[in-house]
Amino acid sequence: EVQLVESGGGLVQPGGSLRLSCAASGFTVSSNYMSWVRQAPGKGLEWVSVIYSGGSTYYADSVKGRFTISRDNSKNTLYLQMNSLRAEDTAVYYCARTVPTYFDIWGQGTMVTVSS
């Protein structure tokens, strides 16, 4: 079964850091484009970052310089390292297989709350 399972969310203070993980099964992360998409409480969807199969990475302006997307091929897992977190980063974070620029498989999401 093709599946994505996120983890790593939680409560963090402004300025803090968090690393999200997304474990894939049923397909190979490194052979696909993979993205992170977030959704603030009661709001719409916002694309955050993508990593291409070749390793190139791109970010939304709102997170550029603060977030880093990466993957571990041996673990078939996608990551999002989030630094210098702000209140406006509070959201459910979804990982999604990107084919190559729309999203066909989504994880269940992990909640990140940035608050003091």
Partner 1 sequence: EIVMTQSPATLSVSPGERATLSCRASQSVSSNLAWYQQKPGQAPRLLIYGASTRATGIPARFSGSGSGTEFTLTISSLQSEDFAVYYCQQYNNWPLTFGQGTRLEIK
Residues in the site for partner 1, rule: CB under 8 A? 35, 44-47, 58, 60-61, 94, 101-104, 106-109
Please, what is the minimum distance in Å from the beta carbon of residue 62 to partner 1?
Answer: 9
SS3 53: coil
Say how far apart CA 88 and CA 109 lie, in whole Å.
17
Please, what is the minimum distance in Å from the beta carbon of residue 60 to partner 1?
Answer: 5
Nearer to partner 1, 87 or 99 (CB): 99
Please, what is the minimum distance in Å from the beta carbon of residue 72 to partner 1?
Answer: 22
SS3 content of the chain, % helix, strand, coil (to 5): 5, 55, 40
Across 53-115, the runs of DSSP E, i.e. the strands, are 57-59, 67-72, 77-82, 91-98, 103-106, 110-114
Nearer to partner 1, 42 or 55 (CB): 42
Nearer to partner 1, 73 or 90 (CB): 90
Q: Which residue type, as a one-letter code, is found at position 46?
A: E
Nearer to partner 1, 35 or 77 (CB): 35
Q: Are 11 and 90 in contact (CB under 8 A)?
A: no
Please, what is the minimum distance in Å from the beta carbon of residue 15 to partner 1?
Answer: 25
